[in-house]
Structure 1
Amino acid sequence: MSGPVSTVDAPASRADTGHPSAPCVEVGDSREARIGGLRVRRALPRRGRRTVGAWCFADHMGPADITGNSGLDIGPHPHIGLQTVTWLTDGQALHLDSLGSEQVIKPGQLNLMTAGNAVSHAEVDTGHYRGVLEGIQLWVALPEATRHGPAAFEHHAELPRGELDGAVATVLMGEFGGLTSPARHDTPLMGAELALHRSTTVPLRTGFEYAVVVLEGEIAVHGEPLRPGRLGYLGRGRDELRIDVREPTRALLIGGEPFEEPIVMWWNFVGGSHDAVKQAREDWVAGRRFGRVEGYNGDPLPAPALPRLPGTPHGRPA
């Protein structure tokens, strides 16, 4: 349920403003787009802030009405060097991939696909669900140690959930509040949904940088309002975070150790170099490496042309 990364979102090469060692609150607006029939609000990446830990992409999708005449239809497309993390707050969707996976996801469940060296997948209507669809898909950049490994898929029907003072936390990945998710992660990171009904203080790790994406409702951090369509980057150095709840809110807290490895992000690829991304595109166009997504009757998505920028050879992303 994610859309391609382009230079509109951020330059392909790393261009963050840095990873502050002191706590901060940087609030930025998401970019709106339509992907596969859905309205999405892209909170990450954006110019000046491409990663939070290894988290490198966040698309808040919907709400959208799934009917017999309209719905979700994202055809087969390739990935390298990342994990896709899919979390729904309403509705159902179907994941298909070149590994042979065919998995319906519902609210409270997690789909996690590790691309490794190459995988392709599609995300479509279930064929039977009718109603509202809403959720978020995120990407996690893989480190060099596992970036070239085999692809994998896992579905978690249940995740650890715990009560905080004023909130209920569901841990998608990593550890939070003494709860640990069973989902794979290859770098130190965490992701948790917070269902907030009153102001609260949540525990953090001082070595992690963090960000908050509000899915519904409104909160404030150090007086800065956060609502859907905005990302609040929090820096690092805190051992706790005070969240002022202005109305019942559902938010995603993501964090991790700053990801210092160089990466190139373009289209659906996260590579360690321009050449790796260029080769992945060539392989997709030629029908090599990425396999076939069975169960999808339409055509795979075509690869766009690589951008050409001043001072770079033709066909090399910036």
Structure 2
Amino acid sequence: MDRTESLPAQTRPPGVAPVDPGSVLLPGHDVPLGRYTTVRRLLPQRQRRMVGAWCFVDHFGPDDVAERPGMEVPPHPHSGLQTVTWLVDGEIVHRDSLGNVQPIRPGQLNVMTSGHGIAHSERSPATRPPLMHGLQLWVALPDPARAGAADFAHHADLPRWSDGDWDLTLLVGELAGERSPAVVHTPLLGAQLEARGPAPATLRLRPDFEYALLAMSGAARVEGHALAPGALLYLGAGRDLLELTAEAGTRLMLLGGEPFDEPLVMWWNFVGRSHEEVVAARDEWMAGRRFGVVADDDAPPLPAPELPTTRLKARDRRGGFRG
């Protein structure tokens, strides 16, 4: 997906205790994506830029696309990050400059690793389900992965299990003795929790991770917070248990990871470490170098926006400037 915003972050040395206290409910805001789709941007926010290495969280839908084009995002570049795409309803076709053409459907996972550079497009197919609903997330890549080769993986089979009235699907990382096949480059967690009935849940967490929880549908209550679609509950770090309750049909996404403390410069679709690095990526995209040509997509590539007149500055995961 295409983004227009500046950002930042890095990975914490093992054994260093996290210090984020308490929980805070962060409202999302609507952002147009392409010509026909509006997403609710839950990260980054001024109060919280990242959760682990998760640096962007967009929730889209549920949208009725029966009589509308659905998602139409033409070829565009990425560098220094991974995109993680998850659908609840609908179908999207991913095409990239490695030659991959891959439909994604509900319950499947696409993970695209940009490394030094890749281009892709995301479109709803001509024949598609009437609803579109899902998430796209970005993961900031650490050294040396951010300068490495691009890659793409599609996972149709993910770990799934039930615990009482809850059904769990593990997208990324490890939880409850299960491990996802998705390859990531920092300690990370992404898991969907779906309530079949009004029920409490207790999850065992890693104290060295920080966590956040978002509702894709339904409603939940966590530590006195009412969680509904359109907001992100940042849970902080230092926890070994999470208790919550939810109504039947609630679908939640639990995100977590080792705090990523490298300061980053994030602008448009590029995650870098300096103003110069981002400027170089933009220049190469506009010159038709480095990122390749998207397979099976004849649409004109999306032009990069003009850079701001001020110098791009690195920020840390809480939003503070570095350097």
Please report the TM-score for the alignment, with normalisation by the length of structure 2.
0.90
The answer for the alignment partner of 1:162 in structure 2 is 161
1:12 to 7, 27, 33: 7
Aligned-pair distance for 1:21? 2.3
Amino acid in structure 2 at the alignment position of 1:300: P
Unaligned runs of 5+ in 1: none
The answer for the alignment partner of 2:152 in structure 1 is 153
Name the CA distance, whole Å, in 1 between partners of 2:222 and 2:50.
Answer: 20
The answer for the alignment partner of 2:26 in structure 1 is 28
The answer for the alignment partner of 1:230 in structure 2 is 231
SS of match in other structure, 1:243: strand
Q: Counterparts in 2 of 1:41-80, with a 5 A limit? A: 41-67=40-66, 69-80=68-79
Name the CA distance, whole Å, in 2 between partners of 1:80 and 1:63.
Answer: 29
Amino acid in structure 2 at the alignment position of 1:147: R
Q: Identity of counterpart residues, as a percentage?
A: 48
Name the CA distance, whole Å, in 2 between partners of 1:206 and 1:317.
Answer: 31
Q: Counterparts in 2 of 1:59-208, with a 5 A limit? A: 59-67=58-66, 69-196=68-195, 197=197, 198-208=199-209
Name the CA distance, whole Å, in 1 between partners of 2:105 and 2:192.
Answer: 15
Residue by residue, what CA displacement relative to the aligned partner does 1:209-237 show, whole Å, maximum 9, x if unpaired? 00011100111111111110000000011
Name the CA distance, whole Å, in 1 between partners of 2:275 and 2:214.
Answer: 30
Q: Work out whether residues 23 and 236 of structure 2, in 8 Å CA contact, stay in contact via their aligned partners in 1.
A: yes
Aligned-pair distance for 1:248? 2.7
Name the CA distance, whole Å, in 1 between partners of 2:281 and 2:166.
Answer: 43
Q: Work out whether residues 39 and 63 of structure 1, in 8 Å CA contact, stay in contact via their aligned partners in 2.
A: no
Name the CA distance, whole Å, in 2 between partners of 1:44 and 1:102.
Answer: 28
Q: Work out whether residues 219 and 247 of structure 1, in 8 Å CA contact, stay in contact via their aligned partners in 2.
A: no
SS of match in other structure, 2:277: helix
Amino acid in structure 2 at the alignment position of 1:208: F
Amino acid in structure 1 at the alignment position of 2:204: P
SS of match in other structure, 1:129: coil
Name the CA distance, whole Å, in 1 between partners of 2:144 and 2:172.
Answer: 19
Q: Work out whether residues 18 and 208 of structure 2, in 8 Å CA contact, stay in contact via their aligned partners in 1.
A: no
**1:142–1:151 distance in 2 versus 1, CA, 3 Å:** same
Q: Work out whether residues 28 and 231 of structure 1, in 8 Å CA contact, stay in contact via their aligned partners in 2.
A: yes
Unaligned runs of 5+ in 2: 10-16, 315-323
Q: Work out whether residues 266 and 317 of structure 1, in 8 Å CA contact, stay in contact via their aligned partners in 2.
A: no
Name the CA distance, whole Å, in 2 between partners of 1:201 and 1:22.
Answer: 21
Name the CA distance, whole Å, in 2 between partners of 1:247 and 1:33.
Answer: 29
Q: Work out whether residues 31 and 39 of structure 2, in 8 Å CA contact, stay in contact via their aligned partners in 1.
A: yes
How many residue pairs match? The answer is 304
Q: Work out whether residues 98 and 291 of structure 1, in 8 Å CA contact, stay in contact via their aligned partners in 2.
A: yes
Name the CA distance, whole Å, in 1 between partners of 2:173 and 2:4.
Answer: 25
Amino acid in structure 2 at the alignment position of 1:268: N
The answer for the alignment partner of 2:260 in structure 1 is 259
Name the CA distance, whole Å, in 2 between partners of 1:90 and 1:307.
Answer: 37
Amino acid in structure 2 at the alignment position of 1:64: D
Amino acid in structure 2 at the alignment position of 1:172: L
**1:22–1:264 distance in 2 versus 1, CA, 3 Å:** closer
Residue by residue, what CA displacement relative to the aligned partner does 1:116-135 show, whole Å, maximum 9, x if unpaired? 00000000012221410110
The answer for the alignment partner of 2:285 in structure 1 is 284
Q: Work out whether residues 220 and 246 of structure 1, in 8 Å CA contact, stay in contact via their aligned partners in 2.
A: no
Please report the TM-score for the alignment, with normalisation by the length of structure 1.
0.92
The answer for the alignment partner of 2:307 in structure 1 is 306
Q: Work out whether residues 44 and 55 of structure 2, in 8 Å CA contact, stay in contact via their aligned partners in 1.
A: yes
Name the CA distance, whole Å, in 2 between partners of 1:22 and 1:35.
Answer: 32
SS of match in other structure, 2:219: strand
Name the CA distance, whole Å, in 2 between partners of 1:296 and 1:162.
Answer: 38
Q: Work out whether residues 193 and 250 of structure 1, in 8 Å CA contact, stay in contact via their aligned partners in 2.
A: yes
